[in-house]
Amino acid sequence: MIERRELYIDGQWVAPTSDEVITVDEAATEDIIGTVPAGDVTDAERAILAARRSADLLAEMPISDRADIVTAIAAGLREREDELARIMAQEVGTPMPSSLRVQVGLAATVFETIAEAARELPAEERVGNSMIIRVPAGVVGAITPWNYPLYQLAAKVGPALAAGCPVVVKPSSVAPLATFILADIVDGLGLPAGAFNLVSGRGALVGDLLSSHPQVDMVSLTGSTGAGVQVARAAAGTVKKVALELGGKSAFLLAEGADLDAAMAAAVRGCFVNNGQTCSATTRLIVPQSLLAEVEERVAALVGAMTVGNPLDDGVDIGPVASAAQYRTVSKYVDMGLEEGTLIAGGPGRVDGLDRGYFVKPTVFSRLDPGATIVQEEIFGPVLSIVAYDEGIEQGIAIANDNDYGLSGAVFAEDIPTAVSIARRLRTGQVAINGGRFNAKAPFGGFKQSGVGRELGHHGLLEYFELLSMQFPSADDLGSFGQTV
C-alpha cells in the first residue's frame, strides 16, 4: 500500500487543503494499492503562484545547467526502474518487460534526448538587421494521462524545464503514483523553488484551473479529443499557448507484394502494445481483398497465441486495461463488433481463469465496412479491426485517410521506396515504414482531431519558447553581439 499524503509545491512537500484522497486500483486484482491527495483549486492556485515566482530565476539559469538537471532526472528514473516499472504494471496493466522498456526506459530516454536537444539549440538567429532569440514561454500547466504516466510526463516536463519554464503537473487520477516518485527525484536537484510542482486532483477542478488561469502561459495536455476541446475552450479566455496530444485511430496499410509474415507481426505488435492502451496504436489494418484470407489466418494465429494474465507474471503478453470504466468501454465496443463484422479472435466475456481484474481478450474483427463504428472510433483497448480494399492502393489510402484522427500510421510494401510514396499521402503525424520503430528524437503529434503541436526532440523543445526579434539600425550593428545562451 502506497500512501502519499502531501503535494509538491514551491520546492517542498506540503499538506493539501483537504483530507480527501484518490484511491488507486491494481488493474489485475481490483485491490486498492495506493492513495494520493485529492488536491483542489486552492492547492493548484498555490502551485501556479509558486511557479510564477520562480519563472525569472529558472529563465536566468544557463540552458546547460537546466539540461544537466533534466539529465539528472533521467538518471534518477533509471536508478529506480524496477520500482517504477512494477508500479505502472499494477496501475496501468502493462506487462513487466514492456513496463521496464517503455514505461520507464522510454521516459528516461525522452529526458535524455531533450537535454541533448537543449545543449545543441542555437542561441540566436540573425536575419538581415534582426537578431532573433528564444525566451521561455512562461508557466506551464502539464496535464498527463494514465496510459503512459512517466513517458507523457517526460514529454512535457523535460522540454519545459530545459526551456526555462516552471511547470505545474496534474497527473491522471487512475495512475498517479509514478509521478510522485518523479517529484521525489526532482526534489534536491537544485531547481529554484516553484520550478516543479505536483498537484494531484480531479480534472474538473485542477485541470480546468490550469487551463484557464491567467498566470499560466501555456497548457499541455495529453488525453482524449473531448478533453482537448475542453482545455482549448478554457484556455481561449486568456489566449495562452496550447499543446494538445489527443486521440488516434491509426491505420496500418498493407500493399500488394509485401512480406506478409513480417507485416502481420508488425501489425499485431503495433495494435496490441500496452494492451491496446496507446493513442498511436495502429488499430485499423487495411489490406488488399486478394490477401484478406491469408491476413486473417496469420493475425488469428498471432493473437490467439498471446498469453493474457497478471502483468507481474513471467511470459504475459497482454495484461488488463487500467480501470473498471475502461473495461466497460472496451467491452461495449467488442459487443458492437459482433454486429458490425466477423470475429476471428478473442471476443466478449471474461478471460478464462481470470475472475478478477479488468481483463479483455485480445480481439480481432474482420470484413468490416470502413464506416463501421469500431473502425472509426478510438477504443483504447486490445481490439483490432481489419478492412479490405479491392480497387488498388488508391482506395487503401482513401480508407486510411477517411477518419477524424491523424496521429500515427504504418505502411508495409514490397520495398521501402514504394512504402514511402504511399506514406507521403497519409494525413497523419508519423508513419512507420516497413516495420520502422519509434524514435524519441522525432516529432510526435497529429493532424485533425489528434491534436495541436509536436512533442519530443528539438521540435518538441521549441514548443516551450517564444520568439523575440530585435531590430537593429543595420546588419553591421549585430556584429558586436556575441552569442549568448
Residues identified as active-site: 245, 279
Grid cell in block for residue 37 = 491527495
Nearest of 119, 5, 131, 7 to residue 70 by alpha carbon: 119
DSSP string of 118-139? HHHS-SEEEETTEEEEEEE---
CA distance 466 to 59: 12
Alpha-carbon radius of gyration of the chain: 23
Amino acid sitting at position 227: A
Task: For residue 99, give the DSSP letter.
Answer: I
CA distance 170 to 148: 14
Q: Give the CA distances from residue 192 to residues 15, 32, 141, 216, 399, in Å, rounded to whole numbers and listed in that order.
A: 20, 35, 17, 18, 51
DSSP string of 320-361? --S-HHHHHHHHHHHHHHHHHSEEEE--SSPPTT--SS----
Q: Is 319 strand, coil or helix?
A: coil
- Phi and psi, residue 375, nearest 5°: -85, -35
Three-point CA angle 376, 381, 384, nearest 5°: 55
Amino acid sitting at position 337: G
Residue owning grid cell 503512459? 148
Total residues found in the chain within this entry:
485
Q: Give every CB contact of residue 348 below 8 A, 6+ residues apart in sequence.
A: 331, 334, 335, 338, 361
Whether 172 contacts 201, CB under 8 Å: no
